[in-house]
Amino acid sequence: MSEARDSLLAALAAEGSAVVALSGGVDSATLAVLSHLALGERSLAVTGVSASLSRHQQSLAESVLRAHPMPHEWLATDELASADYRRNGPDRCFHCKDELYRRLRQLADARGFAAVLDGTNADDTGDFRPGRRAAESYGVRSPLLEAGIGKEGVRALARELDLPVADEPASACLASRVPGTIQIDAGVLSRVEAGEEALREFGFSAFRVRHHGDLARIELPAAQITRALEPDVGGPLAERLVGLGYRQVAVDLRGYRPAGLAAPFDPDRDLAFLSPGAR
C-alpha cells in the first residue's frame, strides 16, 4: 500500500461516516472507492443526475461501481430550475454546486452521515472555481485537496485501485461548453452532449464541442486535428453536427485547451470550417 493511500484511508476512517459525491471522473471515483475501503457500509457514494451530466459521465460512474461495488444512489438534481444558473454568468458553477451540495447535505443529515466529501484535488486551487464557495457553505470536505494530492497523484492512486477511469481525460459538466453570452437550457446541453457523443463515435478523445449558437467549435488534441480535417472524416462528422441544428462546424486549429471557451478566437485564422455556411 502506498503512503498516500495509507494516509488517505486513515483520514477517511476518522470521519466515521460519509456521503461522497461521485461524478464518474477519476478524482471522485478514487475518493469514493477509498472511502468505501475505509468506512465500508458507513460510506455512501451519490451521483447527482441532471441535464448537465452527460450519459457518458453516468456510464463512467457505472463502470466504477461494477469494478468496485459499494453503496451508491442516484440523486436527481435540478440546477436548471435556477434562473441564476440559466443566466450563465461567471458564477454559474456556484449555483450548480449549491444545488448539488445542498441536496447532499440534506441527505447526509437525514441519514446520519457525519461528512459530505468531494473529489477536489490540489491542482484545482489555481482555477477560478465559484463552486468551492458552495462547498464551503455546506461544510463539504475535500480529502484529496487537504492531503495535497494533485491530478497525477490521483491517477497513480486510481491505478493502484485498478479503476477503469484511471486514465480517463478530464471532463467538466456540459454547461462548461457554453460561453456566457448564451443562456443555458436543456436543449443547448442536449445538443452539446450529442455533438460530443458523435466525436467519441468517430474515435476522438479529450475533446470539447464549444457551443456558439449556430457554430459548433470543435477542440481536439493537436495530434488528432489532421485526421478531423480529412474529407472522409470531417465531412461525415460535420453532417452529424449540422443534423443536430448547427449551421457551421469548425475545428479549432489551436487544439484542445481546458480553458478554451474563455479564449477569444479569429474565425479566419484559428478555425478550419468543415461545413458550408456564411461566416
pLDDT digits (tens, 9 = 90+) for 36-63: 999 999 999 999 999 999 999 999 999 9
Q: Are strands 248-252 and 271-273 parallel, antiparallel or unpaired?
A: antiparallel
User: Cα(20)–Cα(30) distance, rounded to whole angstroms?
Assistant: 11
- In order of their start, the domains of the chain are 3-160 (3.40.50.620), 174-273 (3.30.300)
pLDDT for 278 equals: 42
- The stretch 51-77 carries a mean pLDDT of 96
Would you say how long the chain is, in residues?
279
Is 277 a residue whose pLDDT tops 70? no
Predicted TM-score (pTM) of this structure: 0.92
User: pLDDT exceeding 70 applies to what percent of the chain?
Assistant: 97
- The stretch 248-259 carries a mean pLDDT of 91
**Cβ–Cβ contacts within 10 Å for residue 181, how many?**
8
Give the least confident one: 124-128, 188-192, 234-238, 266-270. Answer: 124-128
The 10s digit of each residue's pLDDT in 165-188 is 999 988 789 999 999 989 999 999
Closest CA to 170 of 13, 7, 26: 26
User: Cα(192)–Cα(177) distance, rounded to whole angstroms?
Assistant: 7
pLDDT for 127 equals: 63
The 10s digit of each residue's pLDDT in 176-222 is 999 998 999 999 999 999 999 999 999 998 899 999 999 999 999 99
- The stretch 94-101 carries a mean pLDDT of 95
Is 72 a residue whose pLDDT tops 50? yes
Contact at 8 Å (CB) between 3 and 132?
A: no
Q: What share of the chain is helix, strand, coil (3-state, %, to 5)?
A: 50, 15, 35
pLDDT for 126 equals: 65
User: Cα(177)–Cα(179) distance, rounded to whole angstroms?
Assistant: 7
DSSP-assigned beta bridge partners for residue 216:
211, 249
The 10s digit of each residue's pLDDT in 123-165 is 988 666 778 889 999 999 999 999 999 999 999 999 999 999 9
Q: Which three cell numbers stand for residue 139?
A: 461544510
Is 1 a residue whose pLDDT tops 60? no
CA distances from 77 to 93, 99, 111, 139, 202 (A): 14, 7, 18, 19, 31
Is 271 a residue whose pLDDT tops 50? yes
Q: Are strands 72-76 and 43-49 parallel, antiparallel or unpaired?
A: parallel
* Run of H or E including 35: helix 26-39
